[in-house]
Amino acid sequence: MKASVATWSFGLKAVQKSKENLCSGKLSLDATEYALARVENDVSTGVYIVGRGGFPNADGFLECDAALMDGNSLKFGAVMALRGIATPSRVARRVLENSPHSILVGEGAQQFALSQGFTVEKEEDLNASSSEFVMTSGHSDTLGVINLDASGNIVAGVSTSGMPGKHPGRVGDSPLPGGGLYADDRIGAASCTGDGDQILPFCPSLKAVLKMGQGMTPNAACESVIKEIAERIFPKEMFEIGIVALSVEGEYGAAGSLKRWRDIITGTEYKGFPYAVWNSDHCIEPTIKVVHSCLSTEQ
């Protein structure tokens, strides 16, 4: 059994890359790093607030966050507010494997990247997006990827260039364990996307995995987490959040608070939260699926 799931419709590129690597015998950690980097290093996907071509902070610099978590060892590696590197997930992988620390931030993260052989690029080669529409559209895109390899090892990874125009050094939930991602080989993994500042206090990825461990399906676990958040903040309006999850049995699921989402490159409008998935036993090719908002009434 091999499987892959990713957030949003543009996550299809990541799932396609994951399938390619998993089917060639690569382990889930490799497949997840390669899938994230595939999207990060594509300037055309920067408008989704990921990697090269992403949007600058308030001082005009591209600052990226990325993280990887190995469900076997529970090892975690992350970089935050990293400047000058188009593929922060590759640096996060090196933190996971080559650093005594789990999280490196800002200048320290860049110094570590240099020590690992990465080259710091010029800002004009990274910050290539200029659409005023996207800068003001309220999109909270983040790429989350989960991969399960044939050995049963599950890995979760995330990457984002963060909120357009953010305060320098700002970090949302994406690269934090339990927030943007969580993985445990005994159960499965989850990844979260949306309004990071609002999501951060709720640790939704950890909660989704724990609920799967209690017997819930991935779909039910994701829905339960979002409904609990909506109940907790009521009567405040629910913020944008989407969760994808994958069990170690290869069962996948997702839930979201979005009533609709428009892909700003393809123009496709989805009635709910789109995500990409592939399962070696159930799907011939990676595909995009959509889940309607799990909130029956406006919160």
The dihedral sign for the CA sequence 50, 53, 54, 59: positive
Q: Binding residue per annotation — 195?
A: yes
Q: Binding residue per annotation — 196?
A: yes
Q: Binding residue per annotation — 173?
A: yes
Whether 45 is a known active-site residue: answer no
- Do residues 143 and 56 touch, judged by C-beta distance below 8 A? no
Q: Binding residue per annotation — 105?
A: no
Q: Binding residue per annotation — 144?
A: no
Residue with tokens 């949003």: 8
Q: How far apart are CA 45 and CA 6, in angstroms?
A: 14
Distances (CA, A) of 115 to 91, 110, 112, 171: 10, 9, 5, 23
Collapsing DSSP states into helix, strand and coil, what is residue 3?
strand
Q: Binding residue per annotation — 50?
A: no
Q: Binding residue per annotation — 32?
A: no
Backbone torsions φ then ψ of 2, nearest 5 degrees: -135, 145
Q: Catalytic residue, from 119, 142, 268, 297: name it.
A: 142
Distances (CA, A) of 119 to 24, 86, 115: 29, 10, 10
Q: Binding residue per annotation — 193?
A: yes
Backbone torsions φ then ψ of 92, nearest 5 degrees: -60, -40
- Do residues 215 and 30 touch, judged by C-beta distance below 8 A? no
Q: How far apart are CA 211 and CA 220, in angstroms?
A: 9
In 10 A of CB 116, how many CB atoms? 15
Which positions are catalytic?
142
Residues that constitute the known binding site for substrate: 170-173, 193-196
